[in-house]
């Protein structure tokens, strides 16, 4: 059975792994303490999965799929991260309420398998997969701190990914083909309550943050697969230079960012950088206008030509714009360009001849 068809940890289709005692001791020593209440949520990014689709990233439209693991911490995390098992998830949330981001954007995790719902058949590409530590039986409860972490993370992800429809937060059992193929999440998981809280205007887990998208100083938009990768590498290069930035990969978030950038004081932020014609069109559809970087806070690049020539021109213009921003922010342009190139080629080797 292929990794595309598995999408479950303990159904007999994946090789279950374990950490050695030494590995587990090192792992536990490196992790933060258990979360305590809404102020303590932490996303752990130091542990990543070896199992994701190379050259095939996530892309909009986005949803969130919830799973239970069927096991417990040591076996869960080892199986989701070690090479050769074929399974993974974007997040793993343990019973202590710790959030492990195992496959960051735009990595496409292997969690959904054969599925279909709401016209989407490739839920690995279009959904953020969250594995929840639970054995999947009525005798294994979901602790309060775990539910709070799930709500908090789903609220954060829906803002980040531009998810506005509650039906796009779903369970594996609701999307799998055939429908009785997977049982997760279990019957004692409070889906209705979680969904209500995730899409409520406010929630106690927000720590004072409202439910709308949180903007960074530079919000870099790309709305197809390739421009999304360019936007991600662009934002990553700025982040590495300690400039607040994030990639935006959905149309609704582009509209939100355009509105806030249009109302911002010049160069004080937030600013919107668009990559490609689709993102530029989304700004126009939101009733805003793009201009040059030295005149306003909505600007970007659109490549000329066809096929690879157009993408090559887009990358070239993006690099030039990155240099311009680094000069404004008093950062190292050459170092940022190198980080941009390495990040882009690292995510998609086909860009090697285009950078």
> Where among 206, 230, 265 does a domain terminate?
206
Same-domain pairing of 159 and 33: yes
Same-domain pairing of 34 and 110: yes
Q: How many CB atoms lie within 10 A of CB 207?
A: 12
Q: Which residue has the tokens 């279909």?
A: 116
Same-domain pairing of 71 and 131: yes
Q: Is residue 15 part of a domain?
A: yes
Average pLDDT score over residue span 126-132: 95
Q: What is the pLDDT of residue 348?
A: 77
Same-domain pairing of 198 and 224: no
For the stretch 56-90, pLDDT in tens is 888 888 999 999 998 888 888 888 988 888 889 99
For the stretch 35-61, pLDDT in tens is 444 445 778 888 889 999 988 888 888
Same-domain pairing of 124 and 22: yes
Q: Which residue has the higher pLDDT, 3 or 97?
A: 97
pTM as predicted:
0.64
**Domain boundaries, position 48:** 3-206
Give the separation between CA 352 and CA 262, rounded to whole angstroms.
35
Q: What is the pLDDT of residue 164?
A: 85
Same-domain pairing of 114 and 40: yes
Same-domain pairing of 145 and 42: yes
Q: What is the pLDDT of residue 343?
A: 85
Axis-axis angle for helices 307-328, 333-347 (nearest 10) = 140
What CATH number is given to the structural domain containing 71? 3.40.80.10
Average pLDDT score over residue span 7-19: 57
- Residue (of 188, 205, 96, 221) closest to 154 by Cα position: 205
Same-domain pairing of 146 and 226: no
Q: Is residue 211 part of a domain?
A: no
Question: Per-residue pLDDT for 160 more than 80?
Answer: yes
Q: Is residue 212 part of a domain?
A: no
Q: Is residue 343 part of a domain?
A: yes
Q: Is residue 196 part of a domain?
A: yes
Same-domain pairing of 120 and 42: yes
**Length in residues, the chain:** 355
> Where among 206, 238, 255 does a domain terminate?
206
Give the DSSP per-residue string, 8-59.
Answer: -SSSSSS------HHHHHHHHHHSPPPP-SGGG--EE-S---S-EETT----
Q: What is the pLDDT of residue 229?
A: 84
Q: Is residue 41 part of a domain?
A: yes
Residue 183's pLDDT band (boundaries 50, 70, 90)?
Answer: confident
> Where among 180, 206, 232 does a domain terminate?
206
For the stretch 258-298, pLDDT in tens is 999 999 999 998 999 999 999 999 999 999 999 999 999 99
Q: What is the pLDDT of residue 209?
A: 42
Same-domain pairing of 190 and 297: no
For the stretch 326-352, pLDDT in tens is 999 999 999 999 999 988 887 778 888
Question: Per-residue pLDDT for 11 more than 60?
Answer: no
Same-domain pairing of 231 and 183: no
Same-domain pairing of 91 and 134: yes
**Total tally of structural domains belonging to the chain:** 2
């Amino acid at each position: 059975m292929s990794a595309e068809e598995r999408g479950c940890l303990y159904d007999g289709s994946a090789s279950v792994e374990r950490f050695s005692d030494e590995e587990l001791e090192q792992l536990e020593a490196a992790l933060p303490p258990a979360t305590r209440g809404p102020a303590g949520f932490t996303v752990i990014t130091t542990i990543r999965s070896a199992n994701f689709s190379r050259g095939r990233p996530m892309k909009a439209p986005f949803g969130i799929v919830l799973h239970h693991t069927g096991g417990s911490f040591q076996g869960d995390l080892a199986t989701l991260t070690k090479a050769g098992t074929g399974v993974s998830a974007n997040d793993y949330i343990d019973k202590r309420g710790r959030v492990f981001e195992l496959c960051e954007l735009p990595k496409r995790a292997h969690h959904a398998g054969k599925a279909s719902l709401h016209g989407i058949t490739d839920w690995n590409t279009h959904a953020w997969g969250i594995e929840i530590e639970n054995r999947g039986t009525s005798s294994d409860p979901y602790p309060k701190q775990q539910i709070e972490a799930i709500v908090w993370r789903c609220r954060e992800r829906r803002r980040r990914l531009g998810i506005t429809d509650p039906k796009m937060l779903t369970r594996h059992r609701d999307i799998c083909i055939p429908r009785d193929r997977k049982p997760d999440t279990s019957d004692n998981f409070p889906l209705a309550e979680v969904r209500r809280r995730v899409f409520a205007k406010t929630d106690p887990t927000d720590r004072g943050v409202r439910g709308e998208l949180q903007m960074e100083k530079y919000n870099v938009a790309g709305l197809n697969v390739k421009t999304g990768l360019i936007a991600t590498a662009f934002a990553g290069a700025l982040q590495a230079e300690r400039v607040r930035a994030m990639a935006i990969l959905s149309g609704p978030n582009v509209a939100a960012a355009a509105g806030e950038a249009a109302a911002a004081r010049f160069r004080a932020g937030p600013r919107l950088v668009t990559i490609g014609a689709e993102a530029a069109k989304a700004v126009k559809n939101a009733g805003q206008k793009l201009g040059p970087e030295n005149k306003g806070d909505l600007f970007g690049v659109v490549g000329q030509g066809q096929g690879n020539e157009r993408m090559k021109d887009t990358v070239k213009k993006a690099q030039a714009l990155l240099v311009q921003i680094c000069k404004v922010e008093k950062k190292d342009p050459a170092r940022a360009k190198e980080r941009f190139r390495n990040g882009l080629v690292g995510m998609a080797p086909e860009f090697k001849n285009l950078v």
